[in-house]
Amino acid sequence: MPIIPNGSYILMDDITVTQMYTQTFTGHFNGNNKKITVNINEDATNVGLFSQVDGGQIINLIVDGSVIGGQQSENVGGFAGQYLGNFLIYNSINLADVTGISATSNVGGFVGKTDNNCPDSDFDNCTNNGTITGGRYVGGIIGSIGNNSSSSIRFCYNSGTIQGVSTCPQHSIGGIIGYISSIHTFHNMANIGKVLGNNSDYAGGIVGYFAEGWLYISSNSGIVVGGRVSVGGIFGYLSHNTLLEASINTNWVSGLSQYSGAIAGENNGIIRDCFFDNQMCILNGIGNILAVPPNMVEGRATVNMIGYNLQPILSIYAQGSNDAWQFQNNNLYPIPGYYSINSYHPIALLSAAPIYLQNNPITGVPERLDNVTQDFYVSNGIAFPPPSPPNPPNIYNFDYRWNSINGFINIPPTSDLASFIPTGILRQDTLRVVLDGEPLYEKLIPIWIR
């Protein structure tokens, strides 16, 4: 039966789709928690499962497979190339790899671009696990949000690798959104995926370039690599019309950017009550501000960020609601994205799983990623502190399993002195994370040695 643009549909079985829907979809599509596997390779202006969506909704849908936009494709997304407004995408998952070949394309796991003057657009409980590659603006959920948009985005998560290939000016990339021109509400985000913006101007664990709006309650624990201008653990760049509150970064940020910060690369807005793990990320909190006021950004050791240590400060945000930070386990960072009464999102849990660097056995001071001096352990907290090495010693290399006593890995010292270069070397050890058997996520541990 052909789909009409304003129809209402419920998906009853998993299906495979090899051609996108080329009309603007304005109806209601209930995926019924079934999967559509796509194999779409088009050179149209807007490329996705749906070319464009407007005035309807997509709920409870899983998209898998591959979506590729060609040289003429301006907007590429797993669900839709372009999002025209008054539309809801809710409780859905993108597993598809999404690629925009054009250097100027907007590419997102769900939507390439929300249109200018896009009213009442809502993304709620959306998860991307696919690899998102492309163009000028690249994000795990949305590539770019246009001018004068009143978008409401909440409880969105990314575990996929987000990578930019463009060398265009103003190129930006983010774990959740690549570029935001304007937005209304933006909260409860978590990213654990790698954000690789080597050729980008702006790269951020949550958003690459943030021109106008307000974000609170977000967490990044993915590696963020930036390019030419600014890179940050939460935002690459914040303009003077932005407000960032109650967010944390717990992983490594690096790049050749002019400004590099654990929270924001360059900030011209307002930042309040944001924290970063200063054992995992050794940068200043804000790249373009040397003296950061205490109420803006603070770096703390892992042990001082987990459990209830941040509760007196962060609990004032969305107090008493399901939107609030959760402080329920002494071995976890605060947990973002508490989206229902009885369950956490797996990515929110993984973003809250700390990585401990064992204290130096001589000085007693915790090791830092920029100064690894001795053989040490990385732990998921469930097994912290890790047990003593056996005699004779061997290398621990257990799977990193949730609620497992084997949640640690030994990083042996590097004996090959020839491998060192003046600025150091980067070693990455992959800790495999298993939650309830499926899905399987990876959490990469960066070890910077100099």
Residue 241 belongs to a domain: yes
Bond from prior residue into 336 cis (ω within 30 degrees of 0): no
> Which structure tokens are listed for 303?
């042990």
* 151 in Cβ contact with 184 (< 8 Å): yes
Determine how β-strand 132-134 pairs with β-strand 97-100: parallel
Residues 6+ apart with CB under 8 A from 343: none
Residue 370 belongs to a domain: yes
Say whether both 338 and 361 belong to one domain: no
The more confident residue out of 149 and 325 is 325
Residue 3 belongs to a domain: no
Say whether both 344 and 300 belong to one domain: yes
pLDDT in tens, 378-409: 665 555 544 454 444 333 333 333 334 445 55
Q: Which domain holds residue 445?
A: 356-449
Q: What are phi and psi of 350, to 5 degrees?
A: -70, -35
* 231 in Cβ contact with 204 (< 8 Å): yes
Residue 426 has pLDDT above 50, yes or no: no
Residue 420, pLDDT score: 32
| Residue at a domain's end among 351, 375, 402 | 351
Which amino acid does the sequence have at 41? Answer: N
Q: Which H, E and C letters describe 59-99, residue by residue? A: EEEEEEEEEEECCCCCEEECCEEEECCCCEEEEEEECCEEE
Residue 304 has pLDDT above 60, yes or no: yes
Average of per-residue pLDDT across 135-157: 87
Residue 339, pLDDT score: 62
Work out the number of other CB atoms within 10 angstroms of the CB of residue 120. Answer: 14
Q: What does the mean pLDDT of the chain come to? A: 81
Residues 6+ apart with CB under 8 A from 40: 17, 18, 19, 20, 47, 48, 49, 65, 66, 67, 68
CATH number at residue 196: 2.160.20.110
